[in-house]
A and B are shown apart, each in its own frame.
Chain A
Amino acid sequence: MRSKIVLALLGACLAGLLGTARAAADAEASEKCLACHEDQANSMRRSVHSVAADARTPTCVSCHGPADKHAEDPSETKPPNLFRGEKALGAEETSAVCLTCHVKNKQMLLWAGSTHPQSGVSCTGCHKLHVEKDRVFAKTSQPTVCYACHKEQRVMVDRPSRHPIREGKMTCSDCHAVHGSAGPKLARRDSTNATCYLCHAEKRGPFVHNHEPVAENCASCHNPHGSNIPAMLNARDPVLCNQCHTPHVAGGVGAVGGQPGVFPPAAGSQTVPAVTPLSGGKNVVNIWQGRSCLNCHTAIHGSNNPAATNPTPHYLFR
């Protein structure tokens, strides 16, 4: 009964505000649907698609198409627009139904040709319509929708170093504009860095001493979906740094030396080990333990220290 009232209000609203015979006809046609599908209307009674006072609110036939023949013979004929089952519309046709109205949504401006439609993802691939609250709009449940396809990310967010996605404090759409974007990987802003700066603006700079990959792309060193290495690093220090930088050499012994044992024994003609606990800051202890390279190059995201006296901070010491 309640659903009929909602639909009647909805139809009246459409007819009244738009003043079109089409809207009235749609509403009248949709009333027939309730004879069998009242449960469907009830399930979305409190959804944004059931607000009669909103002139844009659709009826059953707005989305599913005219179903007169289906009403006459439900077992033989189906409505033209089905979104589930064997006779469901394809991805493009499905989204085209939704875009009849939602093309006006500013989030959809860059949808055409973007990653999701190109990959065959339709609106109903993520959104549920016949519910009171679509789960993609809740931070706690949205990731489960994305994980249906993005299974690698589902594993990553459970790694020891991660963002608070599991706790529902962050969600996929905090960083990704899933309906289309001018940024890489559907980033919410126009670049990876600009997206990260939404929460990490202290890294933006520019600094007196910049670190080039920092300014270029945070993902050069970090995996924002999670990592087994602290600070969501792509690799553990010093290996990460050594991907660009040559390892330090102290006392003629390379930083990656020192095996076996912490300090390498005297080699060749040496009378004492070249690297000892006292031999220098670049010994294997300081390079491999703790924060590794970051023990000394601590301002790794950039230093704004202007000091032009030794030791100058341009190696990001301070």
Chain B
Amino acid sequence: MTQLDRVQGLRRSVLALAVCAAFGTVQAQEKKEGAEEKSSVETQASVEVGAAGVSGSSSDRAFWGEYNGMRDQNAYGLFNLDYSRRDSATGTWLEIIGTNLGLQTRELGLLWKQQGNWNLWANYGELLRVNPYTVNTGVTGIGSASPTATYLSGGAGSGADQDLSTKRRGLGLGGSKWLTPELEFEAKFSSENKSGSQLFGIGNNCPSVVAPGCSFTPGVTTGSAVLFYPQPIDYNHSQVEARLNYAGQALQLTGGYYGSFFSNQNGAMYPGVPGTLNNPVNTPLPLGPGLGAILSNAVALPPDNQYNNFDLAGSYAFASWLRANFKLAYSQGKQNQDFAGAGLAGAPAGIGNLNGEVTGKLAQVRLAANPIAKLSLVAEYRYSDNEDKTPVADYNVVGATKFTNQTVSREVNAGKLEATYRFPWAVQGMAGLGYTSIDRGAYTPTASYVGTSALRQTTDETTWWV
């Protein structure tokens, strides 16, 4: 009952009429004759103001206008600015840069710093993405958690054209300060909202191996359906990072914390299913109650999750030609969104959320040497371990058989030796030997699925290259 109108190829019949000349580019630079040597302050600014017209229909510029904010309208305002003020006596800078301020892809950034001492910055940005595929559909409530499909009596193509889009709006703040000539502290924070809708849908079969009980009356309730329902997007993603950097002559270190916090205002989508659907050749058919019940099930949307990461990295020079560096990191990812709160029913008894947890460990060490100017030698070892500590429970039922959820862990040991020599005439020779071992852990019988492919438990690769 829906139709996807694919815009094939990139037909750029668009005529962009930038008429900046009508307004001109205004540039100003403070310059006081005779006072140049007295003042250490220098200001430079430019402002660009204009208008742009775009010819053709919006579908003609589906790909061209996917990200540039000029998909749907024919006329746009253009506004950019660039301001900087610098005091060379104090080393203080102020910069304000705005780009695409007249479009829905606007960005505004501010930087204030005393070079070598401190800096503060802020930025705001928007990004509109319009899906290049126009959807002709009878679905209403697009962008909401309860989109409803309506039967198109006129058949495929008789619905309304919909251009699905998402918009990101983000704010970032940060700064740093040299506490001593060797010690720097820096911190930053960002928060971004993403809203809109994107291509999505549901589909199923009745009866099927995973839904044998849906056929109440054989011959009446059997069938299948694939329905377009745009996924509602209403996300927030906040990230924070704090870091302490030490910079000695031979030893440099950096240690910090990074946190990432994702939240989704929509825990689930509730499809509204009509009583009649068109089949693929446009014949209206009644929707059986068994299939209708399947299609009306709540659809889980991405759950809230949190991620915390601590790391320490460093570099040490044993000699001018021999240096070692390393990185250590520990991370923890959590996902414990309440099922009922998200609008999702049917969890196993006594389980309110997944209580998902994945921890990560990383250790990398590298030795790099340049014993002679044109020869580089590298030895590297890397260990990482992502351990899925999520408890297992009987989330799956196929017929009368129960299965648990599956955890996904991964331990990797990798190393390499590599030599590079630079010959004359920009010719370089390289030879190396590498080894990678991946262990995904043994699957217990209760953690296995039926009918799906599991990645192999271990992978060992030895590689050499010249």
Contact = CB atoms under 8 A, between A and B. Distances in A.
Interface of A: 2, 5-6, 9, 46, 48, 51-56, 90-93, 96, 103-106, 108-114, 117-120, 160, 164, 166-169, 180, 182, 190-191, 194, 197-199, 201-210, 212-213, 215-216, 230, 244-246, 277-278, 280-283, 285-286, 290-291, 294-296, 298-299, 301, 303-315, 317-318
The 4 A-B pairs at the shortest CB distance, nearest first, are namely A281-B224, A53-B91, A113-B368, A307-B346
B398 interface: yes
A303 B449 CA distance: 15
A311 B329 contact: no
Interface of B: 4, 10, 36-37, 40, 42, 44, 63, 66-68, 84, 86-92, 99, 105, 107, 114-116, 125, 127, 129, 132-133, 184, 199-205, 208, 210-214, 223-226, 235, 237, 239, 243, 245, 247-248, 252-254, 260, 262, 264, 268, 279-281, 283, 285, 294, 297-300, 302-303, 305, 307, 309, 311, 313-315, 317, 320, 323-325, 327, 329, 331, 333, 335, 337, 339, 342, 344-348, 351, 354, 356-358, 360, 362, 364, 366-368, 370, 373-374, 376, 378, 380, 382, 384, 388, 390, 394-399, 402-403, 405-408, 410, 418, 420, 422, 428, 430, 449, 451-455
A109 B254 contact: yes
Given A53-B91, A164-B127, A212-B408, A207 B356 contact: yes
Given A281-B205, A311-B208, A205 B305 contact: yes
Contacts of A281: 203-205, 208, 224-226
A278 B376 CA distance: 66
Q: Which of B129, B325, B380 has the most CB of A within 10 A?
A: B325
A112 B325 contact: yes
A210 B408 contact: yes
B247 A104 contact: yes
Nearest to A197: B260
26 contacts: A9-B89, A46-B86, A48-B115, A51-B115, A51-B116, A103-B315, A104-B248, A106-B254, A111-B325, A114-B366, A120-B420, A164-B67, A166-B67, A190-B384, A201-B262, A206-B388, A207-B356, A215-B408, A281-B208, A282-B205, A285-B280, A296-B204, A307-B297, A308-B397, A309-B346, A310-B399
Contacts of A298: 200-203, 299
Contact of A206 (B88, B358, B394): B358
Contact of B203 (A93, A286, A305): A286
Given A278-B223, A311-B294, A5 B37 contact: yes
B300 A313 contact: yes
A312 B204 CA distance: 12
A308 B116 contact: no
Given A296-B203, A304-B344, 18 more contacts: A52-B91, A108-B252, A113-B368, A191-B384, A194-B309, A201-B235, A205-B303, A206-B408, A212-B406, A280-B205, A283-B224, A291-B201, A296-B202, A304-B339, A307-B395, A310-B210, A311-B211, A314-B449
B229 to A, nearest CB: 9
Contacts of A311: 204, 208, 210-211, 214, 294
Given A53-B89, A216-B410, A305-B344, A167 B105 contact: yes
Given A204-B333, A308-B396, A245 B4 contact: no
B307 A306 contact: no
B248 to A, nearest CB: 8
Q: Which of B42, B320, B408 has the most CB of A within 10 A?
A: B408
B366 A112 contact: yes
A277 B297 contact: no
Contacts of B199: 291
Contacts of A304: 300, 302-303, 335, 337, 339, 342, 344, 354
Given A90-B373, A182-B313, A306-B346, A202 B203 contact: no
A207 B237 CA distance: 18
Given A212-B408, A310-B397, A311-B210, A278 B279 contact: yes
A314 B132 contact: no
Contacts of A203: 302
Q: Which of B91, B317, B358, B398 has the most CB of A within 10 A?
A: B91
Contacts of B307: 197, 201, 204
Q: Which of A160, A168, A318 has the most CB of B within 10 A?
A: A318
Nearest to A213: B455
B288 to A, nearest CB: 12
Contact of B346 (A106, A199, A308): A308
Contacts of A160: 10, 63, 132
A307 B132 CA distance: 34
A96 B430 CA distance: 21
B347 A308 contact: yes
B46 to A, nearest CB: 13
A312 B210 contact: yes
Contact of A205 (B84, B235, B335): B335
A117 to B, nearest CB: 7
Nearest to B390: A206
B408 A306 contact: no
B111 to A, nearest CB: 11
Contact of B325 (A55, A113, A209, A310): A113
A306 B339 contact: yes
B371 to A, nearest CB: 11
A217 B292 CA distance: 36
Contact of A190 (B133, B243, B362): B362
Nearest to B132: A160
Nearest to A262: B280
A280 B407 CA distance: 32
B214 A310 contact: yes
Contacts of A202: 235, 262, 264, 302
Contacts of B453: 244-246
A216 B455 contact: yes
Contacts of B397: 308-310, 312
A193 B346 CA distance: 30
Contacts of A190: 311, 327, 329, 360, 362, 384
Nearest to B302: A202
A308 B315 contact: no
Nearest to B453: A244
A112 to B, nearest CB: 4
Contacts of A245: 452-453
Given A92-B373, A210-B406, A315-B452, A168 B212 contact: no
A56 B247 CA distance: 13
Contacts of B225: 281
